[in-house]
Amino acid sequence: MSVRIHPSILAADFAHLADDLERIRTADLIHFDVMDYHFVPNLSFGMPLFESIAANSPLPLDVHLMISDPLRWAPGYAEAGAESVTFHAEATESPAQVAKAIRAAGARVGLALKPGTDVDDYLELLPEIDMVLVMTVEPGFGGQAFMPETMPKLARLREAVDASGLEVRVQVDGGIDERTISIAAENGADTFVAGSSVFGAESAADQIALLRETATAHRH
């Protein structure tokens, strides 16, 4: 699979959001974080902002739900136009049910794992999903430092996906820049969420190109 770059608008300038969306139109998707101040200790965006961006975005939207009770809320984002909807394995006792609900509502399905969550507990779900997100920081806040201790889990996931023969993307999110993206790519990631490193760059397009080239060069 080709490398994909998903800038996270958590790092965008919301006073000039339309301009910032134009700056990243060379990316693949826009990463949209939803936080509920319950599953994670932060509050971010909800459906009204999502609908506004979806109606005006130059790119499809990749929704990351850091919320409790994803079965209640995830299908709505799919119905509202999300390309993919990712929910956290730790937020539900029935991840297969949530995955089926998202797919039935018309979106691709992602399963997110916190840094401390064992990927082996969820490998049986690979046939039900389109992407696994390995968090490389604790979810809840942008701008955190990349956690290299998550790389063995990432490599294990890559091994399992390759062995399955399934078309499942392997995504990382947290502290991704031109240095850490090479480490994540070497350990099997093909889809990269980057916030501060993209929106903080003088040229977001140049930074996206650099990230894409660096990840491609370090993939096995």
Domain boundaries, the chain: 4-218
The predicted-structure confidence for 53-64, as pLDDT tens digits, reads as follows: 999 898 999 999
Residue 61: name the closest of 47, 40, 43, 41 by CA: 47
Tokens of 193: 């969420």
pTM of the complete model: 0.94
The amino acid at 205: A
17 pLDDT exceeds 80?
yes
Confidence (pLDDT) at 14: 84
Q: Record the tokens describing residue 19, joined without a space.
A: 């301009």
Q: How far is CA 152 from CA 141, 160, 172, 188, in A?
A: 23, 12, 13, 10
Is residue 43 scored above 70 in pLDDT?
Answer: no
Q: Is 33 one of the annotated active-site residues of the chain?
A: yes
Catalytic residue among 28, 173, 177, 190, which?
173
Give the confidence band of 89 by pLDDT, cuts at 50, 70, 90.
very high
Give the per-residue pLDDT at 35: 81
218 is in an annotated binding site: no
DSSP string of 92-110, one letter each residue = -S-HHHHHHHHHHTT-EEE
User: Is 142 marked within a binding site?
Assistant: yes
Q: Across residues 15-35, what is the average pLDDT?
A: 94
Asked if 120 is an active-site residue, the reply is no
152 has pLDDT over 80: yes
Two structure tokens written together for 23: 């700056």
Q: Which of 20, 28, 33, 190 is catalytic?
A: 33
The CA distance from 124 to 122, in Å, is 5
Around Cβ 132, how many Cβ atoms within 10 Å?
A: 28
pLDDT of 153-210, one tens digit each? 999 999 999 999 999 999 999 999 999 999 999 999 999 999 999 999 999 999 999 9
Per the rule left: phi > 0, alpha: psi between -120 and 50, beta: everything else, 97 is alpha
- Is 81 among the annotated ligand-binding positions? no
**Cα–Cα dist 27/29, whole Å:** 6
Residues with Cβ < 8 Å from 15, sequence gap 6 or more? none
| 173 belongs to an annotated ligand binding site | yes
Burial 165-192 (b: 16+ CB within 10 A, else e): eeebbbbbbbbbbeebbbbbbbbbbbbb
pLDDT at residue number 39: 67
Are 98 and 122 in contact by the 8 Å Cβ rule? The answer is no
90-146 pLDDT, tens digit per residue, is 999 999 999 999 999 999 999 999 999 999 999 999 999 999 999 998 876 666 688
Q: Regarding beta strands 30-35 and 191-194, do their DSSP bridges make them parallel or antiparallel, or are they unpaired?
A: unpaired
Structure tokens that stand for 149 in this block = 């201790």
How confident is residue 220, by pLDDT bands cut at 50, 70 and 90? confident
CATH C-level class of 4-218: alpha beta
